[in-house]
Amino acid sequence: MSGMSGVTMQKTKPIITVMTDFGTEDGYVGAMKGVLLGLLPDAAVVDISHRIEPFNIRQAAFSLLNYAFYYPDNTVHLVVVDPGVGTERKAVIIRTANQYFVGPDNGVFSFIYQQEAFQAYAIRESAFGQEVSSTFHGRDIFAPAAARIFLEKRLESFSEPVTSLVSFYETFRKKSDGEFALQILHVDHYGNLILNFTRRDWIKLNRPKDLKLQLNRGFLYGIHDTFGEAREGQILALWDSRGFLQIARNQGNAATTLDLNVGDQIILRLS
Amino acid sequence: MSGMSGVTMQKTKPIITVMTDFGTEDGYVGAMKGVLLGLLPDAAVVDISHRIEPFNIRQAAFSLLNYAFYYPDNTVHLVVVDPGVGTERKAVIIRTANQYFVGPDNGVFSFIYQQEAFQAYAIRESAFGQEVSSTFHGRDIFAPAAARIFLEKRLESFSEPVTSLVSFYETFRKKSDGEFALQILHVDHYGNLILNFTRRDWIKLNRPKDLKLQLNRGFLYGIHDTFGEAREGQILALWDSRGFLQIARNQGNAATTLDLNVGDQIILRLS
Amino acid sequence: MSGMSGVTMQKTKPIITVMTDFGTEDGYVGAMKGVLLGLLPDAAVVDISHRIEPFNIRQAAFSLLNYAFYYPDNTVHLVVVDPGVGTERKAVIIRTANQYFVGPDNGVFSFIYQQEAFQAYAIRESAFGQEVSSTFHGRDIFAPAAARIFLEKRLESFSEPVTSLVSFYETFRKKSDGEFALQILHVDHYGNLILNFTRRDWIKLNRPKDLKLQLNRGFLYGIHDTFGEAREGQILALWDSRGFLQIARNQGNAATTLDLNVGDQIILRLS
């Protein structure tokens, strides 16, 4: 692998994951995978999703956190949700201790910045030739850049260090003693509502047992350990598999039942 | 490969297929594939579908039959449609003559039990460490168990033989001489209705030619060999590619046209 | 690789892309990938899309153009959108300078014929044994044929040259001096409208700057280079990443905003 540390290239099979909001039916993702296999014939190109809601940077940012750190060292994660393609927004490479990330600098890596130490590089478009379209950087810049992480000795051969980056992560707000304003970060496939409050935050508050979340129609008391403790259809609060607090409906859809969505506020009370 | 027969590990590339009801957009499937590649860097990880209707065990069970036996020997088929995650439901490995299956014991392997001889093993959760979440066994138990089938000499190192298993398969019922109550097992992507009556069942009845299926608005006469025999829009009965009787609409959707769904009864009459 | 040129088989890993209208949830695509891996265990089997609208040959034909030529030499592109399965329609292999295409002869390769020199072969069904179903040629003929392109010395061992092929491509029509009737070829995932007028066509007309496209509610003036030149929500004409003229709405959906669809006519005026 390349990069500032001067480590020599790895011998194992390159792994590149791909997440986009392109859908698959136009063949655009197919083009990106062709470019990757043309440059790295032995790579494992792993589809994550191409059904991110069009232009929904927040959804992609959260989903990325769900998978990125389960991959072997030196995996490259390509994320192309890019409403600003063709504008001045930067194209970036983010390097954490074990992983690489490639995509537009529009906040899609917000959660990575919040959770890991990292170095950031701005990709030089001019390093990718004359054939760059203004509408499809996924194929013409991001995919070749992902491949070049494996092919070149130094990231600096096609990028330069950058420090100012776009991020949208906001931590929960303390309203008064024992009262906090949380926000819904993400609604997942099952309608579970993920909040900006983690198990680590809860530990910092000395693991309060007597807490409640305020909903339109009453309160949710306590934090459960598993869906199995709840009746079918019951709404409950529990930790998700990454340690975020979530509101879920056992075998049902909490988002539609409660009519809540990304950005909505939820009050947490200790008592 | 591991297992009771004491066969030594295979030299060919491991193949693991993955079917879930997770959707792709949250990155949960991405996490499972990361775990698989971390343990088996050379594996071919094959996406089957992540769009099984949430919690629809029957749909997954039927779809599994459509692909599993077309894979090379010693393929591992991972199926995670798991509404009971976090409850006492078992996690199992099913071993047929040539294939392995890994998933929850909730009926998702019903069709496999019905069609093939098999041995079953219950996975010991304790063999998968302290990090097991109560909400995401796909990542924390099923994916690592699938990999360990290739990595360990014996399935017994992380599972034990089990005999009592959940199954929902029901054969068709004889109502009177020449009258049978069939059931719709599955509605496929094209709206074809798959029935619990196979070509083998038909052969056991001495291949009757004069048969009819009773619909709301009349009868379907005979069993056709191909869609090509029908006019556009015509409804007909024919054998599907696995030998099940299906009701289909040529270049259209039989399920919506006839307003029929999984579980509905269809009467078959010989005359 | 096989074929008329007598070139010996390649040593690199075979790449086979797969595009269908099957959806994934029934396991039919899973079966095709099993057949491919059974015949070519080292192949990279690349999913393009399985969400082509059922029976929409035109959509598949256009999408194919978006990815096929970005793949390494000797990639085989399998396309199974096949409303005529079980009828007399031919199964074909198309060979261009660098790529192979396998699928039904129903127009799905229309754009390939229009853009590249090619040789065509009709697949002999009888070369694929007795087990061929009449409803699922994807699994029983097209997938094994794709694998046999890599496995056999000559395409003629299971196919024969053919010249008459189905195509639906129509070029734009000249209505009068400076007035042309274009047609919408394709509506993509973002609602962009792709027209049968290319940058090459525009160059042949001497690169006119003063042109306008007539819409229901007025005109679009000029051809833009990038989305970045437009306000959010603005409708504009620009070149897509393959050089086709498209009508797009910046960060929105042009098809629904303008209520236009595939086949609709758009007038282009030079002035």
Give the Cα separation of C131 and C121 in Å (integer): 22
pLDDT at position B217: 81
What percentage of chain B carries pLDDT values higher than 90?
73
The 10s digit of each residue's pLDDT in C76-125 is: 999 999 998 888 899 999 999 999 999 999 999 998 997 789 999 999 99
Both structure tokens of C117: 């020199």
* Per-residue confidence band for A6, with pLDDT thresholds at 50, 70 and 90: very low
pLDDT at position A148: 97
pLDDT at position C121: 98
Over 70: is that where the pLDDT of B83 sits?
yes
Q: Is the pTM of this model over 0.90?
A: no
Range B34-63 average pLDDT: 96
pLDDT at position B11: 60
Judged by CB atoms closer than 8 Å, whether chains meet at C63 and A31 is answered as: no
* Per-residue confidence band for B7, with pLDDT thresholds at 50, 70 and 90: very low
Over 80: is that where the pLDDT of B27 sits?
yes
Phi and psi at residue B183, to the nearest 5° = -130, 145
Are the C-beta atoms of residues C231 and C246 closer than 8 Å to each other?
Answer: no
**Count of CB atoms situated within 10 Å of the CB of B134:** 18
- Measured between CA atoms, how close is C98 to chain B, in angstroms? 26
The 10s digit of each residue's pLDDT in B87-135 is: 889 999 999 999 999 999 999 999 899 778 999 999 999 999 876 777 7
Over 80: is that where the pLDDT of C250 sits?
yes
Closest CB to B70 among C22, C87, C139? C139
Range A75-82 average pLDDT: 97
CB within 8 A of B260, min separation 6: which ones? B184, B187, B193, B247, B254, B266
Within 8 A of B111 by CB-CB distance, chain C residues are none
Of B258 and A169, the one with more pLDDT: B258
Average pLDDT for chain A = 91
Within 8 A of C33 by CB-CB distance, chain B residues are 46, 67
Over 60: is that where the pLDDT of A3 sits?
no
Judged by CB atoms closer than 8 Å, whether chains meet at B67 and C42 is answered as: no
Range A100-129 average pLDDT: 93
pLDDT at position B159: 97
The DSSP string of C199-251 is HHHHHHTT--SSEEEEETTEEEES-BS-GGGS-TT-EEEEE-TTSEEEEEETT
Over 70: is that where the pLDDT of C5 sits?
no
The 10s digit of each residue's pLDDT in C141-192 is: 999 999 999 999 899 999 999 999 999 878 899 999 999 999 998 898 789 9
Judged by CB atoms closer than 8 Å, whether chains meet at B25 and A49 is answered as: yes
Range B50-64 average pLDDT: 94
* Per-residue confidence band for A10, with pLDDT thresholds at 50, 70 and 90: very low
Which SS3 state, helix, strand or coil, does residue B81 take? coil
- Measured between CA atoms, how close is B23 to chain A, in angstroms? 6
Judged by CB atoms closer than 8 Å, whether chains meet at A251 and B38 is answered as: no
Judged by CB atoms closer than 8 Å, whether chains meet at C59 and A25 is answered as: yes
Closest chain A residue to B84 measured between Cα atoms?
A: A228
pLDDT at position B243: 81
Instruction: Write the CA distances from B161 to B4, B93, B119, B124, B157, integer angstroms.
Output: 10, 9, 8, 11, 11
Judged by CB atoms closer than 8 Å, whether chains meet at B13 and C38 is answered as: no
The highest-confidence range among B42-46, B221-225, C220-224, by mean pLDDT, is B42-46
* Per-residue confidence band for A171, with pLDDT thresholds at 50, 70 and 90: confident
pLDDT at position A129: 83
Over 50: is that where the pLDDT of C2 sits?
no
N-to-C CA span, chain C: 52
Taking alpha carbons only, the member of C240, C232, C234 closest to residue C221 is C234
The DSSP string of A115-173 is HS--EEEEE-GGGG-TT--SS-HIIIIIHHHHHHHHHSS-GGGTEEE-----------E
Closest chain C residue to A143 measured between Cα atoms?
A: C70
Burial label, A126 (beta-carbon count in 10 A; 0-12, 13-18, 19+): exposed
Q: Tell me the Ramachandran region of residue B233: left when phi exceeds 0, alpha when psi lies from -120 to 50, beta otherwise.
A: left
According to DSSP, the residues that pair with A171 across neighbouring strands are none
Over 50: is that where the pLDDT of C241 sits?
yes
Helical packing angle, C28-39 and B57-67, nearest 10°: 30
Interface of B with C (CB under 8 A): 12-13, 15, 17, 19, 44, 46-53, 59, 62-68, 70-72, 75, 186, 188-190, 225-229, 238, 240-241, 251
The 10s digit of each residue's pLDDT in B121-180 is: 999 999 998 767 777 899 999 999 999 999 998 999 999 999 999 998 888 999 999 999
Judged by CB atoms closer than 8 Å, whether chains meet at A26 and C241 is answered as: no
Within 8 A of A54 by CB-CB distance, chain C residues are 189-190
pLDDT at position C6: 39
Interface of B with A (CB under 8 A): 22-31, 33-35, 37-38, 41-42, 45, 47, 54-55, 83-88, 133-136, 139-140
According to DSSP, the residues that pair with A268 across neighbouring strands are A180, A213
pLDDT at position C10: 46
